[in-house]
């Protein structure tokens, strides 16, 4: 089993592996190119996003800057918008449903590190997938941690740190992020 296989399957893996290093270098170069494009060059933006992201639907907007670790572990549904400064550390799968909107300066982090410093020092880590459902609005400055699932029809308040799953039809916020309100019907606020 390769280090990439271990990484994707959630096992401990060696992040200093040369093949993983090549994968990261490739996508970092593509992200750099994407971030340097003129805002009006939408054709080149779309082309580069297709090279970076593993699977994506229609009507995708990611405002620069955008950074990820591998790209091939990211799946984005239809009607996705991310404001500036999106970071996705996609050592494991990161899946976004349809109609997802993300505020600026937000991050999704699948990577985790062992508590034992000797293991951590040599570059051993693990990754847990993140799933974001349909019709989700994530406020500015939100950080989503490894292994979290965010349900459908969810609003995450700005500045939240999401460490646990968030159920469908919820407004959640805080550090740690917690459900503060259920959404029922066609509420506006």
Residues with Cβ within 8 Å of 121's Cβ and at least 6 positions away in sequence, in order, are none
Outline where the chain has alpha helix (H). 3-9, 18-35, 42-52, 117-121
Q: Is 143 marked active-site?
A: no
How many other C-beta atoms are found inside a 10 Å radius of the C-beta of residue 127? 29
- 96 burial class (0-12, 13-18, 19+ CB within 10 angstroms)? buried
Tokens, residue 178: 């917690």
Q: Which of 50, 84, 113, 143 is catalytic?
A: 113
Cα distances (Å, whole numbers) of residue 139 to 85, 136, 175: 13, 10, 13
Which residues are the active-site residues?
Answer: 113
């Amino acid at each position: 089993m390769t280090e990439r296989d271990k990484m994707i399957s959630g096992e401990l893996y060696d992040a200093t592996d040369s093949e993983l290093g090549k994968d990261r270098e490739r996508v970092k170069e593509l992200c750099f190119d994407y971030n340097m494009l003129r805002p009006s060059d939408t054709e080149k933006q779309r082309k580069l996003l297709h090279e970076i992201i593993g699977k994506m639907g229609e009507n995708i907007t990611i405002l620069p800057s955008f950074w990820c670790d591998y790209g091939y572990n990211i799946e984005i549904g239809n009607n996705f918008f991310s404001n500036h400064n999106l970071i996705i550390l996609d050592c494991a799968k990161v899946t976004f449903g349809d109609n997802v909107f993300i505020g600026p300066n937000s991050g999704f982090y699948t990577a985790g590190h062992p508590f034992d410093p000797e293991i951590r020092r040599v570059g051993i880590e693990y990754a847990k997938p993140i799933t974001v459902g349909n019709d989700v609005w994530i406020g500015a400055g939100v950080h989503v941690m490894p292994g979290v699932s965010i349900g459908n029809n969810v609003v995450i308040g700005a500045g939240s740190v999401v460490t646990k799953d968030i159920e469908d039809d919820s407004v959640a916020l805080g550090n740690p992020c917690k459900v503060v309100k259920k959404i029922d019907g066609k509420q506006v606020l």
